[in-house]
Amino acid sequence: MILANIEDYRTLARKRLPHFLFEYIDGGAFSETTLRNNSADLQTIALRQRVLRDVSSVSTATTLFGKEYAMPLGLSPIGIAGLNARRGEVQAAQAAEEAGVPFCLSTVSACAIDEVRAAVNNPIWFQLYMIKDRGFLREILARAKAAGTDTLLFTVDMPVPATRYRDMRSGLSSGTILQRKITRARQVLMRPQWAWDVGLFGRPHTLGNIAPVLGDNAGIDEFWSWLAQNFDPTVTWADIDRIRAEWDGKFIIKGILDSEDAKQAASIGADGIIVSNHGGRQLDGALSSIRALPDIADAVGNDLGIILDSGVRSGLDVVRALALGANFVMIGRPWVYALAARQKKGVREILDIFKNEMRVAMALSGNTSVNTIKRDSLVNL
Ligand SMILES: Cc1cc2nc3c(=O)[nH]c(=O)nc-3n(C[C@H](O)[C@H](O)[C@H](O)COP(=O)(O)O)c2cc1C
C-alpha cells in the first residue's frame, strides 16, 4: 500500500488495530460534529498564492519558549497511545526527537514517564489532568520534574468525560468487565500481528504513570474505572493558579476555546495555551479550533504562546493555523495512526510528510520563513 498522506496511514491503522482500539482513536463525542468541523473548517481557509519571489531556500525551523524546533509541529498527548505498537510511546518519542519536534506524554500513557525518558536524549513534555487526590497529583508532578520535564501541559477541557458512542459500541466502555473482555479478545484474534507485537510482547498493558496507586497487576478496565472516579470536576482557576505557582517550568493550559478564558490564562501567568477542543472528543457542537483561533490570537497574541491542535491533517493546515495567529501546531490522531500502521518509522514518515507539505505551501504562498506567515498569507474571502 502506498502511503502518501495521513488518510492513507489512517486506512492502514484500521487494518492493523483491533476494532475497539481503532474506534477509540478515531472517534469523537456524541454525533461527532465538532470532530468533523475541525478538519472541514481548515479546508475552507484559502491560502494566498504569490509568485516570482525566489523561494529557492525555504526554512520551516522555528523557536518556541526559547527552544529551536525543525518545524512548528509537535505530538499531542494521547491516552494509551502505547498500545498502538509495542511500547508505543517510547517509539513515538524517539521518532519526534529524531525529527526535531516535541513529544508530549499523556498522564494516562501506557509507558511511564521514566521509561520514555530513558529512551530519548532530551526531556519530553508532560501532560497532566486535575486528579482529586492532590497528594498523588504532586507525586506525578515531582516524577515529571525528576525526569527533566520543563514543559507541562495542563488539560482543562475534561472536568467530566463526554460520551463517545463508538467506545460504547466497540466494547471499550459499555457492558460488564467480563463482556468487554470477551468482545475485545474476539477483536484481538482478528488482528494476529497486533496480538503478537503488542498483546504478547508489549506488556505490561497498564497506565504507567498511574500504576503506583493501583499496583502493576491492574488491567485497563480497572484503570478506566479509577480514572472515572478520580478526575476532578470541581477544578477551577484557583486550582490552576496554585499548580502554576508550584511548577517552575513552562506552563501551558490545554483546551482553551474562548478569548475570555485565554485572558484568564494570561492573568495567572501561563506561558502559553493550546487552542483545542480535545480533537472533538469533549463538547460536541463547540467551535472548531481553527474558527476559535483568530479571536483568541487578537485577545492574547502578545501575552502568550499560542498553540493550536484539533483537525490538523497536513502541512497546509499548519500554514493556515500560523497565518491565523498560532505560533505552533500539534497533532493527535495523525501520529497515532502512523504508529499503529508502521511503528516508529511511520511516525518519522508522517513528520516528513508534514514538513514537505509545509515547505511547498510556504514556497507557493511566497513565504521563505515561518515568521513571515501572517494573515495576509490568506485570501480574505
Ligand atoms: C485517542 C485520543 C486520546 C487522547 N488522550 C488525551 C490525553 O490523555 N490527554 C490530553 O490532554 N488530550 C488527549 N487527547 C486530545 C489530544 O491531545 C489532542 O488535543 C487531539 O487529539 C487533537 O486533535 P486531532 O486528533 O484532530 O489532531 C486525546 C485524543 C485522542 C484522539
* Residue 360 to residue 3: CA distance in whole angstroms: 18
Q: How far is the CA of 136 from the centre of ligand 1 (A)?
A: 23
For range 326-350, the mean pLDDT: 99
Question: Sorting pLDDT into bands at 50, 70 and 90, what band is 226?
Answer: confident
| pLDDT tens digits, 178-191 | 999 999 999 999 99
Q: How far is the CA of 115 from the centre of ligand 1 (A)?
A: 21
Instruction: Name the more confident of 85 and 174.
Output: 85
Question: Sorting pLDDT into bands at 50, 70 and 90, what band is 229?
Answer: confident
* Residue 121 to residue 124: CA distance in whole angstroms: 9
Query: Are 300 and 262 spatial neighbours (Cβ–Cβ below 8 Å)?
Result: yes
Can you tell me which atom of ligand 1 is nearest the CA of 25? Answer: 1
- Burial of 283 by CB count in 10 Å (0-12 exposed, 13-18 middle, 19+ buried)? middle
* Residue 110 to residue 124: CA distance in whole angstroms: 15
| pLDDT tens digits, 349-381 | 999 999 999 999 999 999 999 999 999 999 987
Pocket probe mutation, ligand 1, options 78, 131, 152, 166, max atoms within 8 Å of Cβ: 78
Q: Determine which of 24-38, 164-178, 218-232, 256-270 has the lowest per-residue pLDDT on average.
A: 218-232
For range 136-154, the mean pLDDT: 96
Q: How far is the CA of 77 from the centre of ligand 1 (A)?
A: 6
Query: Are 34 and 291 spatial neighbours (Cβ–Cβ below 8 Å)?
Result: no
Can you tell me which atom of ligand 1 is nearest the CA of 330? Answer: 27
Q: How far is the CA of 277 from the centre of ligand 1 (A)?
A: 9
Q: Which grid cell sits at 270?
A: 501561563
Q: What residue spans define the domains of the chain? A: 6-50+64-357
Q: How far is the CA of 309 from the centre of ligand 1 (A)?
A: 9
CA-closest residue to ligand 1 atom 14? 78
Length of the chain: 381
**Domain 6-50+64-357: which topology?**
TIM Barrel (3.20.20)
Q: Determine which of 73-82, 114-123, 204-213, 234-243 has the lowest per-residue pLDDT on average.
A: 204-213
Of all residues in the chain, the percent with pLDDT exceeding 70 is: 99
| pLDDT tens digits, 8-57 | 999 999 999 999 999 999 999 999 999 999 999 999 999 999 999 999 99
Of 24, 342, 17, which is closest to residue 190 (Cα–Cα)? Answer: 17
- Provide the annotated active-site residues: 278
3-state secondary structure of 269: coil
Instruction: Give Cα 282 distance to the centre of its chain.
Output: 14
Can you tell me which atom of ligand 1 is nearest the CA of 104? Answer: 17
Q: What is the dihedral of CA 295, 58, 123, 339, to 10 degrees?
A: 90
Q: How many helices (H) and strands (E) does the chain have?
A: 16, 10
For range 50-72, the mean pLDDT: 98
For range 220-231, the mean pLDDT: 79
| pLDDT tens digits, 285-314 | 999 999 999 999 999 999 999 999 999 999
* Residue 359 to residue 364: CA distance in whole angstroms: 9
Question: For residue 53, which amino acid is it?
Answer: R
Which position has the grid cell 505560533? 327
Pocket probe mutation, ligand 1, options 24, 76, 106, max atoms within 8 Å of Cβ: 76
Q: What are phi and psi of 128, to 5 degrees?
A: -130, 140
pLDDT of 317: 99
Can you tell me which atom of ligand 1 is nearest the CA of 106? Answer: 8
pLDDT of 217: 66
Instruction: Name the more confident of 52 and 212.
Output: 52
